[in-house]
Amino acid sequence: MSLLARVTPAVVAALVRVLATTLRLRISGAERLAAAWAAGRPLIYVVWHGRILMVPWTNAWLRRTRGARRAAVLVSRSADGEIMARFVARFGLPTIRGSSSRGGMEAIRALAAAIRRGEDVAIVPDGPRGPSERVQPGAVALAALTGAPIVPLAFAARPARRLASWDRFLVPLPFARGAVAFGEPLPVARNADREQARERVEQALHEVTAAADRLVSA
């Protein structure tokens, strides 16, 4: 790994922390998860790839203020995934390596093992390469296998810059209004129709993302 790739996670994490101190942040839906957090019931968080920049910091903040738990983050085995793993580690989050294209079954087994230990996990269901805002089947399969519900999660900010990347990556501007929104936990029965469940999760994730966007537009 190049020197730039080794240094980038620390620099970006520091910039995210500084940026976060300027945001006017609103939280929506956390009360839905308080009982699960208190009881130690594991959850599967899903968030779109284009909204992930502030999510590791948000988890750290919610651990301090709302009783949330750490979530093991699924990260690809690519070079970009290594940078992401080092970035989220700066916020105290463990990672599980793999993706739908590389190490998929191994990753599902590792995620399932974490859930059975009572840990939360986080998946970017349209990563690492897209298509953008299209849920891939891994999160649904994991929920059906383990019984842990899927929690749609979104981050929004205004004003913000959307990069010219495949996911239109969102970067809040300093002193922006920020919002974190949690949707209703979605259980997936072991014998559920996987495509119907996938569509339900995708729709819920679109809805919670729209809700977060509304919070910063009000």
pLDDT in tens, 14-62: 999 999 999 999 999 999 898 888 888 999 999 999 999 999 999 999 9
φ, ψ at 48 (rounded to 5°): -65, 145
Low-confidence stretches of the chain (pLDDT beneath 70): 1, 3-5, 99-104
User: 107-130 burial by CB neighbour count: b if 16+ within 10 A, else e?
Assistant: bbebbbebbeeebbbbbbbbbbee
What's the token pair of residue 148? 């842990």
Residues sharing a CB contact under 8 Å with residue 34, sequence separation 6 or more, in sequence order: 66, 67
Domains in the chain: how many in total? 1
Question: Can you give the residue range of the structural domain that contains 209?
Answer: 3-217
Quick check: pTM over 0.85? Answer: yes
